[in-house]
Amino acid sequence: MKNIDSFTHLRGESVYLDDIPVLRGTLYGVAFDSPIAHGEITKLDVSEAESFPGVIRVFTAKDVPGENQIGGIVPDEPLFADHHVHFCGMPIAFVVAETEEAARMAIKKIKLEIKGLPVITDPREAQAKGELIVPPRKFVIGNSDEAFSKCTYVFEGKADSNGQEHLYIETQGAYTYPMENGGIRIHSSTQGPTAVQRACAKVLGVPMHQLEVDVTRLGGGFGGKEDQANTWAALCAMASHLLTRPVKYSLHRMEDMRMTGKRHPYSSDYKIGLSRDLKILAYEATFYQNAGAAADLSPAVLERTLFHCTNSYFIPNVTATAYSCRTHLPPNTAFRGFGGPQGMFVIECAIARAAEELGVPAIEIQKKNLIQSGNEFPYGQIAVSEASECWNRAEEVYSLKEIIAQIDLFNSKE
Amino acid sequence: MIKFILNNTEVSTDQHPGTAVLDFIRYRQNLTGTKIGCREGDCGACTVLVGELTNGDIRYRSMTSCLMPLANANGKHIVTVEGINGDGLNPVQQAMYDESATQCGFCTPGFVMSMVGFSLQHEITNAPKEAVDSVDGNICRCTGYKSIQRAATRVGELVSTRKSDPVAFAIEQKFVPEYFASIPSRLKALSDNLSAVKNIEVADYRVGGGTDLYVQKHEAMSHAKLDFFFDNPAMKGIRIEGNRCILGASTTVTDLVESKEFRKLFPDFEIYYKLVSSTPIRNMATIAGNIVNASPIGDFTAFFLALNASVLLTDDKSSREIELRKFYLGYKKLDKRPEEYIKTISFEIPSKHTRFNFEKVSKRTNLDIASVNTAIRLDITEGIISNAGVSAGGIGPIPTYLFKASEYLNGKKVSLELLPELISIVQSEIAPISDARGTEEYKRLLLSQLLKAHFLVLFPELDEAKILTI
Amino acid sequence: MPICFGISFTKTFMNQARSLVHVYSDGSVNVSTGAVEMGQGVNTKMLQVAAQVFSIDASRVRLNTTNTFRIANTSPSAASATADLNGRATQIACEAILERLKEVALLELNLKGVTIELKDEWVYADGLQTELGWKQLVMAAFVRRISLSEHGHYATPEINFDLKKEKGHPFAYHVYGTAIITTTIDCLRGTYEMDSVKVVHDFGASMNVAIDKGQCEGGIVQGIGWMTMEEIIYDNEGRLRSNALSTYKVPDVYSAPKEIQIEFLHTTNDNLAIFNSKAVGEPPLMYGIGAYFALRNAIKAFNPNANPAYSSPMTPEKVLMALYERK
């Protein structure tokens, strides 16, 4: 069966956030965000922006009727910067005007002075300074210290993976309008309607039952709209609540890229120990997660890095430690794989390194160590494994030996 | 008053002529099938077709409506996805349906429009491949493209059976609705009472294809005083006069691609232009725009620098010609007074002794800004280089003609031995900086490699293995 | 490149979902769940669940928008688990209505002690087709004042995790797979192409091959993008330099691998997936990690002395620098 949306997608008839017909009296909001990654706000004057033709109001932290807080797991993320800014792109004000154009022009009239403070972008530096989002986590199975002493080969090294922008083609946004008796209807491009409802309830200081969040579909999410849709929904909902007018904000691409978090960059150390016949006996890894300026979903992402730190392999002795490090980047967030890929990248680097040092193909080490049913993952779950089935089938249906022979032949010609 | 046919309806508007077509169709005409992805021509979600009548012949081209001023729609047929929808699915939509080539659907109308544009294209040589090429300006984040490639290939196979006029075929195969048959005569009628968008005496900006201005100055464009060059007939055309080739300032890359005369001069032009932006952008971007933009990394600037091209500047009262290699004075600084603009670009046509090559490397091979680009022109008589021109971009504040390197090559016998010295001269002549497109160290190494690539491409008889080890 | 990915939210409490199913008196069906459609095809799978449980034509089922007034306390559409959780909840809701409809069928047909089934919109009694069709059955239930609506609730069984010990059984099941990735580097320019990605992927028993294949292909290319050209650059002041599509490059139609082959490994080990069709959203992305190592191997084939830092993405810059690295 084809995707049930195919027909309307192909005819351009599917409705996304920015396609919802606007109601009479709709206002348009645009966020004004920090140009500085870390600093103290010494002056914020929105009066000129507020008197710009077409502008209805400019909201800042002091206007929040409920709590100025949208943090999901840890309440460490203000909706509006208040006194301090913690990352470039942090919302400071929300300009609401009759037209989007007016709002965008008015933004330039906001006067902001920030006293810069030291900026940390490197997670290892943050960890060294004790800037952690949550206490470190450690997964242990067996005894890696002891096991390393029995290994024929031991290799140590460092492996880094960079972040990744979600680049959903539909940018973030929200469209909210007041309903009877103080209710608000919120159209949001979100993967988490309840997260939006909860965050908006907190910011507005109203019970969740007042807020109807409705999502038709997203033009891509990939994790980027799991928690990070909350900000725009909360900004619009707050303006709708205070002005009793419909309010819409559909982000420009550069705003979206600048103001939202991405896949977490990681810097990691590994130590891998193998027996003479290339069985991985011991593995140690320390992960430094670049969480950005607030928790967002980082603690959960961190956890999944640990869950997947041995990828498809059975390793009897593992010690894996993970730090969620607070830096001055936009709060990094969920992205397809949710920390798992970052953990898997490191064990693959360790295996590649061992293979390169020992002069054997990495596939030999990989294949020999695939997890089997009945083996235990470092977190205690017993595997029901299809790893070898997949591997062997791939070798067979794709004639792996022939592929390798062809590659060797090609490379010998160079 | 700007007038054009939007899908099947004639519209006239007194909106500011600098308004992006995208905003007009979405927010004034409520045609929301055209999506906003990036507003800088890099994603293709807003792709529309633009039909234009020239000599009674209608041609449709895909363009990104985010970068297109309303003024450039004047007198044309603008087609959005709503304008190609028939009763069910057209062959493009059906192929994408069958191949499950749509997931979140947000990029989908853009892909559909690019492929419908392909079905209306005049010259078709290898349709299945060209159908895939037609979506080179469309980004999809969901599918991984394989299903889209499969769909495009099927569309191409259908189009390859075409024997009739493109529009007639497209109607017959239901790529487009029947009303398309009436468009040429309706455009002709429209052109009879069309007023040119008024040229403004003192303009803030002169707009060609808009492909850079609308990226850099997006918000200003719907208010600014603008002068529009794109459809100015006096600034169009590619002609050969004596031993010179003269390009009107508003010549688009696609105009070059479609010009038989020009293609004859550069037999490998397809290899070069495929490295430059995407189909919709090539349909809009003008050569003078590329040059006057003064980006240190302009691809066609590097191309024409190596040819030692000249630009003709005019302020409508007097004109002067200046060598392109002397046009750039500093970062984004030109030897040009504000009232002057480029009227034509001209260069000496390559002789049968001329060898030319263009190289470009970017993070993504296609539709990306170069890390480094370079072009080379060598006139060779009996194995001796009689006249050389070497240019490079991305290695300094301006698009650079490498005077010393060019000078070094003059009078030399072609051989591999030239390369080490050439590379060392070039290294002394450039001053790259580290930025988002690469570190200084990388750009230096890369340009050296591309110089080797020039030799390898121009002189296939040279020993490839040796070049790799220089 | 082998992969193994655990399916479930690792916060155990989040592994719950609800579905609201209405059967209207004309036999049409409306389903609301907590799942958000973002291209992954979850609504299509939800529709399949309802159509399959009722054994009715898919055209009778409509998926509603995701709305907090219809479905409360939703978990986000994430962790690849959306179809499993919301699908199970839909299945539970539909089955509850189905059971009531079967009771009505017995009454309508004046039967006792026979097994009622619905097949292709007809009521079957002990395997024999009766004269009672779906629409009549629904109308009969309505007239008899039987509820044609149900709110299904599902919570993944078996899973647990003890945060103090960092041990437990956090995942409903794991998804496995292996990819073979080949690449060719232009050793002069440092550019490269992905030639092929050949995958054997553990789908369990895929309930929608077209959608699952699309998720695989898309995930692979996104993963390759992460490992190759997608380069986030912040300067030391914390300002994003790769701040637009012109400076941040994701794969385009030409940078997708020339060939992607997906072999569906039909695995039969029991799992908690909806209809045994394993979750497919996230796992394929990790095949892309293999692209990094394919490039690394290719670099070393050209320059055995190369030992670039283990640092992704492997941009053309890093490739060229490594090709000409001297030790």
The domain made up of B2-84+178-228 has a fold known as Ubiquitin-like (UB roll) (3.10.20)
Check A345 against C289: CB less than 8 A apart.
Answer: yes
Which of A104, A169, A225, A254 best tests the B interface by mutation, with the highest count of B CBs <10 A? A169
Q: Give A185-226 pLDDT, tens digit per residue.
A: 999 999 999 999 999 999 999 999 999 999 999 999 999 999
Check C250 against B149: CB less than 8 A apart: no
CATH architecture of C12-155: 2-Layer Sandwich (3.30)
Kindly give, in sequence order, each residue whose CB lies less than 8 Å from that of residue C145, ignoring residues fewer than 6 positions away: none
- Which of chain B's residues have a Cβ under 8 Å away from the Cβ of A169? 35, 37, 43, 45, 104, 106-107, 139-141
From chain C, pick out residues whose CB is under 8 angstroms from the CB of B361.
189-191, 316
Interface of B with A (CB under 8 A): 26, 30, 32-40, 43, 45, 80-82, 85, 89, 93, 96-97, 100, 102-109, 112, 139-142, 219, 222, 465, 468
Instruction: Select the CATH number that applies to the domain covering C173-323 from these four: 2.60.40.10, 3.40.50.720, 3.30.565.10, 3.30.365.10.
Output: 3.30.365.10
User: Shortest CB distance from A414 goes to which of C79, C282, C302?
Assistant: C302
d(CA C162, CA B155): 55
Determine whether the interchain pair A11/B81 forms a contact, defined as Cβ–Cβ distance below 8 Å. yes
Say yes or no for a CB contact (<8 Å) between A15 and B32. Answer: yes
What is the rounded distance in angstroms from the CA atom of residue A151 to the CA atom of residue A54? 72
DSSP C114: -
Chain A: partners with 3+ C-beta pairs within 8 Å:
B, C
C-beta pairs of A112-115 under 8 Å, 24+ apart in sequence: A112/A32, A112/A34, A112/A35, A112/A41, A112/A43, A112/A44, A112/A45, A113/A41, A113/A42, A113/A43, A113/A44, A114/A34, A114/A35, A114/A36, A114/A39, A114/A40, A114/A41, A114/A42, A114/A85, A115/A39, A115/A40, A115/A42
What is the secondary structure of C61-91 as a DSSP string? EEEPPEETTTS-SPPPS-TT-HHHHHHHHHH
Q: Searching chain C, which residue's CA lies closest to the CA of residue A85?
A: C238
Size of interface A-B (CB pairs under 8 A): 102
Strand partners, A215: C66
* 3-state SS assignment for residue C301: helix
Rounded-to-integer distance, Cα A87 and Cα A331, Å: 8
Q: How far is A356 from chain C (nearest CA, A)?
A: 9
Which token pair is B256? Answer: 């070059």
- The CB density around residue B15, as the number of other CB atoms within 10 Å, is 14
Residue of chain A minimizing CA distance to C265 = A390
Strand partners, B319: B314
Residue of A288, A279, A231 lying closest to A256 (CA atoms): A231
Query: Which residue of chain B comes nearest to C38, CA vs CA?
Result: B104
Chains that touch B (3 or more CB pairs under 8 A): A, C
Contacting residues of B for A5, CB less than 8 Å apart = 102, 105
Residue of C nearest to B212 (CA): C246
For residue A368, list chain C residues with Cβ-Cβ distance below 8 A: none
In whole angstroms, what is the distance from residue A87 CA to residue B178 CA?
A: 55
- Rounded Cα distance, A300 and A137, in Å: 11
* Residues C113, A123: Cα–Cα separation, whole Å: 68
Nearest CA in chain C to B134: C253
- The neighbouring-strand residues paired with C21 are C31, C150
Question: C186 is written with which tokens?
Answer: 């232009």
- Give yes or no for a contact between C65 and A216, defined as CB atoms under 8 angstroms apart: yes
Determine whether the interchain pair C317/B359 forms a contact, defined as Cβ–Cβ distance below 8 Å: no
| Nearest alpha-carbon partner for A7 in C239, C67, B94, C63 | B94
| Token couple for B39 | 């507003």
- The domain over range B91-172 is classified in CATH as 3.40.720.10: no
Residue whose pair of structure tokens reads 């696609």 in the numeric block: B254
Closest CA to A155 of A357, A13, A404, A366: A357
Q: How far is B201 from chain A (nearest CA, A)?
A: 26
Q: From chain C, pick out residues whose CB is under 8 angstroms from the CB of B215.
A: 246
Digitized pLDDT (tens) for each residue of chain A, 414 residues in all? 999 999 999 999 999 999 999 999 999 999 999 999 999 999 999 999 999 999 999 999 999 999 999 998 899 999 999 999 999 999 999 999 999 999 999 999 999 999 999 999 999 999 999 999 999 999 999 999 999 999 999 999 999 999 999 999 999 999 999 999 999 999 999 999 999 999 999 999 999 999 999 999 999 999 999 999 999 999 999 999 999 999 999 999 999 999 999 999 999 999 999 999 999 999 999 999 999 999 999 999 999 999 999 999 999 999 999 999 999 999 999 999 999 999 999 999 999 999 999 999 999 999 999 999 999 999 999 999 999 999 999 999 999 999 999 999 999 975
Task: Give the list of residues 6+ apart from residue A157 with CB closer than 8 angstroms, or none.
Answer: A269, A270, A349, A350, A353, C310
Instruction: Please state, as a whole number, how many other Cβ atoms lie within 10 Å of the Cβ of residue B393.
Output: 26
Neighbour tally for C164: CB within 10 Å: 5
Catalogue all structural domains in chain A, each as residue range(s) with its CATH number: 6-117+166-259 (3.90.1170.50), 123-164+262-383 (3.30.365.10)
Residues of chain A found within 8 Å of residue C4, distances taken between Cβ atoms: 308, 311-312, 371, 385, 387
**DSSP designation for B198:** P
Reply yes or no on whether the pLDDT at B144 is more than 90. yes
Task: Find chain B residues with C-beta within 8 A of C40's C-beta.
Answer: 103
Provide the shortest C-alpha distance from residue A1 to chain B (in Å). 10
User: Is A6:B100 a contact under the CB 8 Å cutoff?
Assistant: yes
Token pair in block for residue B74: 């004047």
Q: Is the distance from CB of C184 to CB of A158 less than 8 angstroms?
A: no
pLDDT tens digit string along B13-53?
Answer: 999 999 999 999 999 999 999 999 999 999 999 999 999 99
Q: Provide the residue ranges of all domains of chain B, joining segments of one domain with +.
A: 2-84+178-228, 91-172, 233-469
- Whether chain C has a CB inside 8 Å of the CB on A157: the answer is yes
Closest CB to B108: pick one of A10, A19, A217. Answer: A10
pTM, two decimals, is 0.97
The question of whether C150 is a catalytic residue gets the answer: no
Paired tokens of A410:
């090609």
Q: Which of B45, B102, B219 sits opposite A104 (nearest CB)?
A: B219
Cα–Cα distances (Å) from A395 to A368, A388, C32, in that order, read 14, 10, 43
Query: What's the confidence (pLDDT) of residue A31?
Result: 98
List Cα–Cα distances, C7 to A368, C81, C152, in angstroms: 25, 6, 21
Alpha-carbon distance of A198 to A187, in angstroms, equals 14
Partner residues linked to C204 by β-bridges: C266, C277
- A163 vs C: CB within 8 A: yes
**Class of the CATH-defined domain B233-469:** alpha beta
Is B149 close to C253, i.e. CB distance below 8 A? yes
Kindly list the strands in the beta sheet with C61-63, ordered across the sheet, starting from the edge strand earlier in the chain: C61-63, C29-33, C16-23, C149-155
- Closest-CA residue in chain B for A254? B38
Report d(CA B408, CA B421) in Å as an integer: 9
Annotated catalytic residue within C103, C282, C317, C325: C282
DSSP for B83-143, written as a single string: HH--SS--HHHHHHHHTT--SS-SSHHHHHHHHHHHHT-S--SSHHHHHHHTTTT---SSS
For chain B, the C-alpha Rg in angstroms (whole number) is 23
Q: Per the structure block, which two tokens stand in for A394?
A: 């791939």
Domain extents for chain C? 12-155, 173-323
pLDDT of residue B200: 65
Q: Do A104 and B34 touch (CB under 8 A)?
A: no
8 A C-beta contact, residue B463 and residue B416: yes
| ∠ CA C244-C250-C252, rounded to 5° | 120
Give the per-residue SS3 of A260-304. Answer: CCCECCEEEEEEEEECCCCCEEEEEEEEEEEEECCCCCHHHHHHH
B441 chain-C contacts, CB cut-off 8 A: 321
At A295-354, the pLDDT tens digits run 999 999 999 999 999 999 999 999 999 999 999 999 999 999 999 999 999 999 999 999
The alpha carbon of residue C263 is apart from the nearest alpha carbon of chain A, in Å, by 8
Torsion of CA B346, B350, B354, B359, to 10 degrees: 60
- The strand pairing partners of A60, in sequence order, are A93
The reply to whether C173-323 shares the fold of C12-155 is yes
Segment B82-138, tens digit of pLDDT: 999 999 999 999 999 999 999 999 999 999 999 999 999 999 999 999 999 999 999
- Distance CA(A110)–CA(A41), nearest Å, equals 13
CA distance A103 to A251: 12
Min distance B213 CA to chain C CA atoms (Å): 14
Q: In this model, does residue C268 exceed pLDDT 90?
A: no
**Whether ipTM exceeds 0.95:** yes
CA distance A154 to A156: 7
Q: What is the pLDDT of residue B199?
A: 59
CB contact under 8 A, B436 and C241: yes
Beta strand C122-125 with C116-119: parallel, antiparallel or unpaired? antiparallel
Mean pLDDT of C253-264: 97
Say whether B80 and A252 touch across the interface (CB within 8 A).
no
Q: How far apart are CA B95 and CA B147, in angstroms?
A: 10
- The percent of residues above 90 in pLDDT, for chain C, comes to 98
* Cα(B301)–Cα(B375) distance, integer angstroms: 10
- Best C166, C197, C233, C296 residue to mutate vs chain A (most A CBs within 10 Å): C166
Asked whether the beta carbons of residue A169 and residue B37 sit closer than 8 angstroms, the reply is: yes
Concatenated DSSP letters of A305-356: HHHTTTTTB--SEEEEEEEEEE-SSPPP---TTTTHHHHHHHHHHHHHHHHH
Is there a contact between A168 and B112 if contact means CB atoms under 8 Å apart? Answer: no
Hey, is A154 helix, strand or coil?
strand
What tokens were used for C323? 């090709």
